[in-house]
Amino acid sequence: MYLTEEQLLIYKTQGFILLPEYISRAEVAIMKAELSTLSVENSPKKILEKDGKTVRSLHGSHTNNDVFNSLTRHPFIVEPAMQIVGTQVYIYQFKINLKAAFSGDLWKWHQDYIYWRKEDGMPRPQVVNAMCLLDDMNEFNGPLFIIPGSHKEEMIDVLEHNPIGETTTSHNSGESPTWISSFSVNLKYSLNQKTITSLVSKYGITSVKAAAGSVLFFDSNIVHASTNNISPFGRSTVIITYNSIENIPLPVINPRPDFLVGQNYQAVTPLASDALSQKNSELHTQDKLDRRNLHPLPHQ
Ligand code: SIN
Ligand code: MN
Protein backbone atom coordinates (compact mmCIF):
# COMPACT_ATOMS: atom_id res chain seq x y z
CA MET A 1 0.00 0.00 0.00
CA TYR A 2 1.77 3.11 -1.23
CA LEU A 3 1.48 6.60 0.22
CA THR A 4 -0.33 9.27 -1.76
CA GLU A 5 1.63 12.25 -3.13
CA GLU A 6 0.02 14.35 -0.41
CA GLN A 7 1.14 11.96 2.34
CA LEU A 8 4.67 11.88 0.92
CA LEU A 9 4.75 15.67 0.96
CA ILE A 10 3.64 15.69 4.61
CA TYR A 11 6.43 13.22 5.42
CA LYS A 12 9.02 15.34 3.63
CA THR A 13 7.86 18.60 5.19
CA GLN A 14 7.27 17.48 8.79
CA GLY A 15 9.81 14.66 8.86
CA PHE A 16 7.16 12.14 9.85
CA ILE A 17 3.70 10.86 8.98
CA LEU A 18 1.26 9.09 11.25
CA LEU A 19 -1.09 6.53 9.71
CA PRO A 20 -3.79 5.95 12.33
CA GLU A 21 -5.06 2.39 12.93
CA TYR A 22 -3.22 1.18 9.87
CA ILE A 23 -2.51 -2.42 10.91
CA SER A 24 -5.61 -4.39 11.93
CA ARG A 25 -6.59 -5.10 15.55
CA ALA A 26 -6.34 -8.82 14.77
CA GLU A 27 -2.71 -8.44 13.61
CA VAL A 28 -1.89 -6.39 16.71
CA ALA A 29 -3.41 -9.11 18.93
CA ILE A 30 -1.27 -11.76 17.19
CA MET A 31 1.90 -9.71 17.76
CA LYS A 32 1.06 -9.03 21.39
CA ALA A 33 0.60 -12.74 21.99
CA GLU A 34 4.06 -13.37 20.46
CA LEU A 35 5.55 -10.62 22.60
CA SER A 36 4.73 -12.45 25.80
CA THR A 37 6.81 -15.43 24.62
CA LEU A 38 9.75 -13.28 23.38
CA SER A 39 10.08 -11.27 26.57
CA VAL A 40 11.12 -14.28 28.65
CA GLU A 41 14.13 -15.35 26.59
CA ASN A 42 17.45 -14.37 28.21
CA SER A 43 19.95 -13.00 25.73
CA PRO A 44 22.07 -9.88 25.03
CA LYS A 45 19.32 -8.91 22.58
CA LYS A 46 17.19 -8.12 25.62
CA ILE A 47 17.93 -4.74 27.24
CA LEU A 48 16.73 -4.12 30.78
CA GLU A 49 15.68 -0.93 32.54
CA LYS A 50 17.77 0.48 35.38
CA ASP A 51 15.87 -1.67 37.89
CA GLY A 52 17.63 -4.68 36.35
CA LYS A 53 14.41 -6.61 35.80
CA THR A 54 11.94 -4.70 33.60
CA VAL A 55 12.51 -5.37 29.89
CA ARG A 56 13.25 -2.11 28.05
CA SER A 57 13.82 -3.40 24.50
CA LEU A 58 14.18 -6.55 22.48
CA HIS A 59 16.36 -6.58 19.38
CA GLY A 60 16.42 -8.54 16.16
CA SER A 61 13.28 -10.59 16.87
CA HIS A 62 12.43 -10.66 13.16
CA THR A 63 15.26 -13.17 12.62
CA ASN A 64 13.83 -15.81 14.95
CA ASN A 65 10.11 -15.10 15.05
CA ASP A 66 7.90 -15.73 12.03
CA VAL A 67 5.17 -13.31 13.02
CA PHE A 68 7.56 -10.37 13.47
CA ASN A 69 9.37 -11.43 10.31
CA SER A 70 6.05 -11.11 8.48
CA LEU A 71 5.59 -7.64 9.96
CA THR A 72 8.89 -6.51 8.44
CA ARG A 73 7.60 -7.67 5.04
CA HIS A 74 4.06 -6.35 5.47
CA PRO A 75 3.25 -4.43 2.27
CA PHE A 76 1.60 -1.65 4.30
CA ILE A 77 5.00 -0.97 5.86
CA VAL A 78 7.64 -1.95 3.28
CA GLU A 79 6.00 -0.24 0.32
CA PRO A 80 5.90 3.23 1.94
CA ALA A 81 9.45 2.61 3.22
CA MET A 82 10.68 1.96 -0.35
CA GLN A 83 8.79 5.01 -1.57
CA ILE A 84 10.30 7.27 1.10
CA VAL A 85 13.85 5.97 0.66
CA GLY A 86 13.52 5.93 -3.14
CA THR A 87 15.01 2.46 -3.73
CA GLN A 88 14.57 -1.09 -2.51
CA VAL A 89 15.32 -1.48 1.19
CA TYR A 90 16.82 -3.98 3.63
CA ILE A 91 16.34 -4.26 7.39
CA TYR A 92 18.95 -2.24 9.20
CA GLN A 93 17.52 -2.57 12.69
CA PHE A 94 14.52 -4.15 14.37
CA LYS A 95 13.62 -3.38 17.95
CA ILE A 96 10.64 -3.64 20.24
CA ASN A 97 10.45 -0.94 22.90
CA LEU A 98 8.21 -2.12 25.69
CA LYS A 99 7.97 0.98 27.91
CA ALA A 100 6.29 -1.07 30.64
CA ALA A 101 3.46 0.23 32.82
CA PHE A 102 4.78 2.02 35.92
CA SER A 103 8.46 1.33 35.15
CA GLY A 104 9.24 2.03 31.48
CA ASP A 105 11.96 4.70 31.39
CA LEU A 106 12.50 7.71 29.14
CA TRP A 107 14.38 8.23 25.84
CA LYS A 108 16.34 11.47 25.88
CA TRP A 109 16.18 14.01 23.05
CA HIS A 110 18.18 12.73 20.09
CA GLN A 111 18.39 12.12 16.37
CA ASP A 112 18.97 8.58 15.10
CA TYR A 113 21.23 9.17 12.12
CA ILE A 114 24.23 10.34 14.16
CA TYR A 115 24.43 6.85 15.75
CA TRP A 116 24.22 5.13 12.41
CA ARG A 117 26.80 7.42 10.86
CA LYS A 118 29.30 7.51 13.72
CA GLU A 119 28.92 4.02 15.13
CA ASP A 120 28.07 2.07 12.00
CA GLY A 121 29.48 4.02 9.03
CA MET A 122 26.17 4.63 7.26
CA PRO A 123 27.03 6.93 4.32
CA ARG A 124 23.78 8.94 4.01
CA PRO A 125 20.49 9.34 5.87
CA GLN A 126 18.69 7.41 3.08
CA VAL A 127 16.84 5.40 5.68
CA VAL A 128 13.45 5.44 7.42
CA ASN A 129 11.94 4.25 10.70
CA ALA A 130 8.52 2.63 10.86
CA MET A 131 7.12 2.61 14.39
CA CYS A 132 4.18 0.25 14.75
CA LEU A 133 2.15 0.73 17.93
CA LEU A 134 1.17 -2.48 19.73
CA ASP A 135 -0.61 -0.50 22.48
CA ASP A 136 -2.49 2.76 22.41
CA MET A 137 -0.02 5.60 22.87
CA ASN A 138 -1.62 8.33 24.97
CA GLU A 139 -0.76 11.33 27.12
CA PHE A 140 -0.16 9.07 30.13
CA ASN A 141 2.18 6.32 28.98
CA GLY A 142 5.18 8.27 27.69
CA PRO A 143 4.24 9.07 24.09
CA LEU A 144 6.84 9.97 21.50
CA PHE A 145 7.67 13.71 21.42
CA ILE A 146 8.71 15.14 18.05
CA ILE A 147 9.97 18.54 16.89
CA PRO A 148 8.28 18.76 13.47
CA GLY A 149 10.58 19.96 10.68
CA SER A 150 13.74 19.50 12.79
CA HIS A 151 15.06 16.89 10.33
CA LYS A 152 16.03 19.77 8.06
CA GLU A 153 18.49 21.28 10.54
CA GLU A 154 22.22 20.74 10.27
CA MET A 155 22.80 20.19 13.96
CA ILE A 156 25.36 17.48 14.32
CA ASP A 157 27.94 19.93 15.74
CA VAL A 158 25.77 21.15 18.58
CA LEU A 159 25.10 17.70 19.98
CA GLU A 160 26.13 17.03 23.54
CA HIS A 161 28.05 13.77 23.43
CA ASN A 162 27.61 11.76 26.59
CA PRO A 163 30.79 9.88 27.38
CA ILE A 164 30.59 6.10 27.21
CA GLY A 165 30.77 4.64 30.69
CA GLU A 166 28.13 6.82 32.30
CA THR A 167 25.50 4.34 31.27
CA THR A 168 23.68 2.29 33.81
CA THR A 169 21.51 -0.13 31.91
CA SER A 170 22.60 -3.70 32.04
CA HIS A 171 21.75 -6.84 30.19
CA ASN A 172 21.78 -10.40 31.33
CA SER A 173 25.27 -11.67 30.70
CA GLY A 174 27.72 -9.90 32.99
CA GLU A 175 29.40 -6.63 32.02
CA SER A 176 27.57 -4.17 29.76
CA PRO A 177 28.99 -3.80 26.26
CA THR A 178 29.76 -0.27 24.99
CA TRP A 179 26.94 -0.36 22.43
CA ILE A 180 24.45 -0.34 25.30
CA SER A 181 24.86 3.46 25.43
CA SER A 182 22.76 3.70 22.27
CA PHE A 183 19.84 2.02 24.00
CA SER A 184 19.95 2.97 27.66
CA VAL A 185 18.46 6.02 29.34
CA ASN A 186 21.77 7.84 29.21
CA LEU A 187 21.94 7.99 25.42
CA LYS A 188 25.37 8.55 23.94
CA TYR A 189 24.45 11.38 21.56
CA SER A 190 21.63 13.22 23.26
CA LEU A 191 20.86 16.87 22.56
CA ASN A 192 21.39 19.58 25.13
CA GLN A 193 18.68 21.77 26.66
CA LYS A 194 19.78 24.94 24.84
CA THR A 195 19.45 23.22 21.46
CA ILE A 196 16.03 21.79 22.31
CA THR A 197 14.79 25.16 23.60
CA SER A 198 15.80 26.93 20.42
CA LEU A 199 14.43 24.20 18.13
CA VAL A 200 11.09 24.15 19.96
CA SER A 201 10.78 27.92 19.75
CA LYS A 202 11.44 27.70 16.01
CA TYR A 203 9.36 24.63 15.10
CA GLY A 204 7.05 23.86 18.03
CA ILE A 205 6.62 20.44 19.54
CA THR A 206 4.12 17.63 19.15
CA SER A 207 3.41 14.28 20.74
CA VAL A 208 2.18 11.19 18.98
CA LYS A 209 -1.10 9.98 20.42
CA ALA A 210 -2.68 7.14 18.48
CA ALA A 211 -4.41 3.80 18.85
CA ALA A 212 -2.71 0.42 18.69
CA GLY A 213 -2.14 -0.58 15.05
CA SER A 214 -1.16 2.96 14.02
CA VAL A 215 2.16 3.31 12.21
CA LEU A 216 4.48 6.31 12.33
CA PHE A 217 7.10 6.71 9.61
CA PHE A 218 9.82 9.09 10.77
CA ASP A 219 13.01 10.59 9.40
CA SER A 220 16.36 9.52 10.85
CA ASN A 221 17.27 13.17 11.51
CA ILE A 222 14.05 14.21 13.23
CA VAL A 223 14.62 15.27 16.84
CA HIS A 224 12.59 13.04 19.15
CA ALA A 225 12.32 11.81 22.75
CA SER A 226 9.84 10.27 25.14
CA THR A 227 9.17 10.52 28.87
CA ASN A 228 8.95 7.68 31.36
CA ASN A 229 5.76 5.73 31.91
CA ILE A 230 4.27 6.02 35.40
CA SER A 231 0.81 5.06 34.15
CA PRO A 232 -0.81 1.62 34.43
CA PHE A 233 -0.78 1.39 30.61
CA GLY A 234 2.01 -0.43 28.78
CA ARG A 235 3.35 1.28 25.64
CA SER A 236 4.90 -1.39 23.43
CA THR A 237 6.01 -0.46 19.93
CA VAL A 238 7.98 -2.17 17.17
CA ILE A 239 10.49 0.06 15.38
CA ILE A 240 11.76 -1.26 12.05
CA THR A 241 14.53 0.70 10.36
CA TYR A 242 14.75 0.23 6.61
CA ASN A 243 17.94 1.33 4.87
CA SER A 244 18.40 1.79 1.13
CA ILE A 245 20.20 -1.12 -0.57
CA GLU A 246 22.37 1.64 -2.07
CA ASN A 247 23.42 2.94 1.35
CA ILE A 248 25.29 -0.04 2.82
CA PRO A 249 27.48 1.02 5.81
CA LEU A 250 31.23 1.34 5.32
CA PRO A 251 33.59 -0.70 7.52
CA VAL A 252 34.14 0.63 11.07
CA ILE A 253 36.75 -0.23 13.71
CA ASN A 254 34.35 -1.55 16.37
CA PRO A 255 31.31 -2.89 14.56
CA ARG A 256 28.18 -3.32 16.65
CA PRO A 257 26.59 -6.78 16.76
CA ASP A 258 24.49 -7.80 13.78
CA PHE A 259 21.29 -7.79 15.81
CA LEU A 260 21.78 -3.99 16.03
CA VAL A 261 23.16 -3.36 12.56
CA GLY A 262 21.65 -5.75 10.04
CA GLN A 263 24.15 -7.43 7.76
CA ASN A 264 21.63 -9.17 5.57
CA TYR A 265 21.50 -6.71 2.67
CA GLN A 266 18.89 -8.70 0.79
CA ALA A 267 16.10 -6.41 -0.45
CA VAL A 268 12.87 -6.94 1.47
CA THR A 269 10.09 -8.28 -0.75
CA PRO A 270 6.57 -7.41 0.35
CA LEU A 271 4.27 -10.32 1.24
CA ALA A 272 0.52 -10.50 0.65
CA SER A 273 -1.37 -8.15 2.96
CA ASP A 274 -2.86 -11.03 5.00
CA ALA A 275 0.47 -12.88 5.39
CA LEU A 276 0.96 -12.04 9.06
CA SER A 277 -2.43 -13.54 10.04
CA GLN A 278 -1.84 -16.54 7.75
CA LYS A 279 1.55 -17.15 9.33
CA ASN A 280 -0.07 -17.13 12.74
CA SER A 281 -2.71 -19.71 11.80
CA GLU A 282 -0.05 -21.93 10.18
CA LEU A 283 1.99 -21.76 13.39
CA HIS A 284 -1.05 -22.62 15.50
CA THR A 285 -1.96 -25.57 13.29
CA GLN A 286 1.62 -26.84 13.50
CA ASP A 287 1.61 -26.31 17.25
CA LYS A 288 -1.62 -28.35 17.62
CA LEU A 289 -0.18 -31.15 15.47
CA ASP A 290 3.01 -31.16 17.55
CA ARG A 291 1.01 -31.36 20.76
CA ARG A 292 -1.10 -34.22 19.38
CA ASN A 293 2.04 -36.13 18.48
CA LEU A 294 3.31 -35.67 22.00
CA HIS A 295 -0.03 -36.55 23.62
CA PRO A 296 -2.06 -38.59 21.07
CA LEU A 297 -5.79 -38.37 21.57
CA PRO A 298 -7.24 -41.69 22.91
CA HIS A 299 -9.47 -42.52 19.93
CA GLN A 300 -7.06 -41.64 17.17
C1 SIN B 1 13.75 5.61 19.94
O2 SIN B 1 14.10 6.74 19.86
O3 SIN B 1 14.27 4.72 19.24
C4 SIN B 1 12.68 5.17 20.89
C5 SIN B 1 11.75 6.19 21.32
C6 SIN B 1 10.61 5.61 22.09
O7 SIN B 1 10.39 4.37 22.07
O8 SIN B 1 9.88 6.39 22.69
MN1 MN C 1 15.46 7.24 18.21
**Are 229 and 141 contacting, i.e. CB atoms less than 8 angstroms apart?**
yes
- pLDDT number for residue 291: 62
Which residues are within 8 A (CB) of 295 and not within 5 positions of it... i.e. 6 or more apart? Answer: none
The answer, yes or no, to whether residue 164 has pLDDT greater than 70, is no
Ligand 1 pocket at CB < 6 A: 97, 107, 144, 224, 226, 237, 239
SS3 11: helix
Coil/strand/helix, residue 232: coil
On the question of pLDDT at 229 being above 70, the answer is yes
Residue type, 76: F
Mean pLDDT, range 141-151, rounded to an integer: 98
pLDDT digits 0-9 by tens, 27-79: 999 999 999 888 777 888 999 999 999 999 999 999 999 999 999 999 999 99
By the 8 A CB rule, do 80 and 220 touch? no
Burial grade of 166 (CB within 10 A; 0-12, 13-18, 19 or more):
exposed
Residue 75 alpha carbon to ligand 1 centre in Å: 23
What is the dotted CATH code of the domain comprising 5-272? 2.60.120.620
pTM of the predicted model over 0.85: yes
- Nearest residue CA, atom 4 of ligand 1? 107
- Residue 65 near residue 38, CB atoms below 8 Å: yes
Domain residue spans of the chain: 5-272
CA of 59, nearest ligand number: 1
Instruction: Tell me, in angstroms, the distance from the centre of ligand 1 to residue 291's CA.
Output: 39
Cα(242) to centroid of ligand 1, in Å? 16
149: left (phi over 0), alpha (psi -120 to 50) or beta: left
